[in-house]
Amino acid sequence: MKKGYYGLFLAAVAGFFGMTHSVQASTEDFGPKISHKAYLSVVENNYSRLGDKNGKIKGSTNDYYQQTLKTDGYYNHVNGHRYYSAYNNKDKWVGYIDAKAVKEANSSWGVGYSTKQYGSYTRKDWSIYDNKSFKESDNLLKKGNKTYQVKRYYYHFNGNMYLSLYDKNNQWVGYINKKAGGLTNSPWGTKFKGEKPISLNKNYPIYNNKNFHEVATGDKYKNKLVRTMGYYNHFNGRRYYSMEVNGDWIGYTNSDGTVNKKTNGVYQFVLDAAHEIQKKFGANLISGYREGDIDYYGTGHGNGLAVDLSVGTAEKKNDPVWKKNNAMRQYALEHYGNETEYIITNNSVLGDQHGWNPTDYLAAIGSNAYKDPTQSHRNHMCWHFNRPQDIFDF
């Protein structure tokens, strides 16, 4: 049997036993190299990347699936297959690859892959491109906080993925780097952070899922403290809030049916928040809202609003009251962190947004603070909110 045909025989045996997409060959089987410069998109998995012309396996095309490589030439093998000599974008040789596993591309963008996904964008420092020469079309800030449909994507030779965006009217918007935002399978897009208290329009529906299944209207929560726990900029052009009441999720609603509780309602908001914790932890509200401390241990801050809640007096560290104070404090910071300036309890300051050292406070009230429960705050949680004009700022 001739040497070249022996390679074909081994390849046939390998195929019979299920070892597909590999080659057994000798150097002569490859034939001469034909110079050819092109970009290659890897479109098939499970093909071997050969490490030499004797058929040594270097790896699999799975390692580069859908990525764009480049070639400087190919070989027409005696077995009838064409093999490209391929390189990555670091100019590292990745092996000989069967032409059946790749497609030649017209540019460094590679071939386009069809998809039906959605991308949400808010960052203003990423550009949209009008063409594949990276001509900038517009800044995302001008486009607004939107969700677009992604119909095609490209794995560029530079290592980045670029998405082809369409708006809700099926008008092409441009190309954008995938790193600019989140990519999902839902027209709701990516959830963005944002917590604030709101009032609901009584006639607007509330949905319990993303298929717009209506379960209530805003009228059900007209006397409740409703908070947003994030929002979605839907592909349909509307914004939907995810909401909770007293820590329980109640659903989604269109932002058009909501009103921010701003300065005029901030005092009631503070009381509502205090009542929520009072009810949850069995605490006593020992003061209504009041103007915060004029002087916050020598800093001149702490001039927002404050409330005081008590569950009793901690006789010693880590007793049940001490622990409940900690639990109340942690709950307040988790649910009202955006509005809280600082909380003093159990002889310490937590949640301080200004980075001051709590020991400064303890020094200001004296070394015997723990002996005096009115000074040590071991008998209550003193909850300080930001100034009214600073509370709701997103």
pTM: 0.63
Residue 312: half-sphere exposure toward Cβ, Cα within 13 Å: 11
CATH 2.30.30.170 boundaries in the chain: 3-105, 191-260
- For the stretch 215-248, pLDDT in tens is 999 999 876 778 888 999 999 999 999 999 877 8
Report the pLDDT value the prediction gives residue 170, as an integer from 0 to 100: 95
Residue with more model confidence, 182 or 169: 169
Q: State mean pLDDT over 370-375.
A: 42
Confidence of residue 25 (pLDDT cuts 50, 70, 90): low
Nearest Cα residue to 110 out of 144, 68, 62:
68
Distance separating alpha carbons of residues 310 and 365, to the nearest angstrom: 20
What architecture is the 191-260 domain classified under in CATH?
Roll (2.30)
Report the pLDDT value the prediction gives residue 40, as an integer from 0 to 100: 98
Confidence of residue 156 (pLDDT cuts 50, 70, 90): very high
Distance separating alpha carbons of residues 289 and 57, to the nearest angstrom: 74
Contact (Cβ atoms closer than 8 angstroms) between residue 324 and residue 334: no
Mean pLDDT in the chain? 78
Please give the CATH number for the structural domain made up of 3-105: 2.30.30.170
Phi-psi bin for 315: left (phi > 0), alpha (psi -120 to 50), beta? alpha
Report the pLDDT value the prediction gives residue 371, as an integer from 0 to 100: 42
Please give the CATH number for the structural domain made up of 113-184: 2.30.30
Distance separating alpha carbons of residues 123 and 385, to the nearest angstrom: 29
- pLDDT of residue 144 exceeding 70, the answer is no
Distance separating alpha carbons of residues 369 and 311, to the nearest angstrom: 19
